[in-house]
Amino acid sequence: MLGNLVGTLLLGLALLRSRRVPLWTAAAVLAWPPLHVTGLVAGSEWFEVAGAALQAVGLTATGSRLLTAPR
């Protein structure tokens, strides 16, 4: 679990710093780790589901953006 949280956090920070994707996509990816931890602490899966949904949207938009970018 630690690798999942840290890896996602590092990916989100790299996307943010690269400026190759819109800010909101990096923010959506970065939302997963804190929402996951919040869900574990609160004992509710709703936070984790919301974080996973945001991460999926952010990664989809990132992939789309990077695939259509000129080389």
Checking if the pLDDT of 1 tops 80, the result is no
Checking if the pLDDT of 70 tops 90, the result is no
CA–CA distance, 45 with 36 (Å, rounded to integer): 8
Band the pLDDT of 69: cuts 50, 70, 90.
confident
For residue 25, the number of C-alpha atoms closer than 13 Å in the C-beta half-sphere is: 19
Higher pLDDT among residues 3 and 29, named by residue:
29
Task: Give the pLDDT confidence of 28-68 residue by residue, as tens digits.
Answer: 999 999 999 899 899 888 999 999 999 999 999 999 998 99
| pLDDT value at residue 56 | 95
Residue 31, phi then psi, degrees to nearest 5: -75, -25
